[in-house]
Amino acid sequence: MRYLVAGLGNVGSEYAGTRHNIGFDVVDFLARKHEVVFTPDRLADVAEIKYRGRYLRLIKPSTYMNRSGRAIKYWMEQDKISTDRLLVIVDDLNLPLGKLRMRTKGSDGGHNGLADIQAVFGNSNYARLRVGIGSEFSKGAQIDFVLGRWNAEESKALVERLPLAAEAALRFSAQTVGQVMEWANAQ
């Protein structure tokens, strides 16, 4: 059985280590844990891991956050993966730092990456794992906060939280989506 796990972020060194790239951070964690490396491919950097007899294609779209839908659609078609086997991992500033929230459908919540996926798919019926990045910014500074780098305290907290987000992605391939949601949303 094949699954697609898309970690959203922006390519380029200027975006590495920023809050908006937490989706990339989660799939990078999974790749390191399973001792595989990402390789550049069409519309994304890709890696593949095996977990409990299932294959998970990990992608980091190279289309930038606001155009993620095209890359995800391409890899779903390439690997013949249905939307019930797609998990998108994104940042969420409406959640406290490191808090996980998984849903199987819903609005984009103002997230441009999710909005693009919805536009490409024509619906919002796919699983998404939102990872909280906090909201410690002053009025009008949202973009600077989201595209800003983690401070030392946040980085320390992420060391404990990234493994939980990665675990949710693995569970997505091995349990019912209801079980995964219950587990992830309790974290």
Query: Identity (one letter) of the amino acid at 4?
Result: L
The Cα-based distances of 34 to 11, 30, 38, 51, 79 in angstroms read 22, 6, 12, 9, 20
Is there a contact between 162 and 29 (Cβ–Cβ < 8 Å)? Answer: yes
Q: Which domains does the chain have, with CATH numbers?
A: 2-185 (3.40.50.1470)
Q: What is the pLDDT along the chain (187 residues), one digit of tens a residue?
A: 999 999 999 999 999 999 999 999 999 999 999 999 999 999 999 999 999 999 999 999 999 899 999 999 999 999 999 999 999 999 998 899 999 999 999 888 888 899 999 999 999 999 999 999 988 777 777 788 888 898 899 999 999 999 999 999 999 999 999 999 999 999 9
Indicate if the alpha-carbon torsion angle 99, 57, 24, 154 is positive or negative.
positive
What is the spatial distance between Cα 112 and Cα 35, in angstroms, rounded to a whole number?
31
Q: Annotated catalytic sites, by residue? A: 20
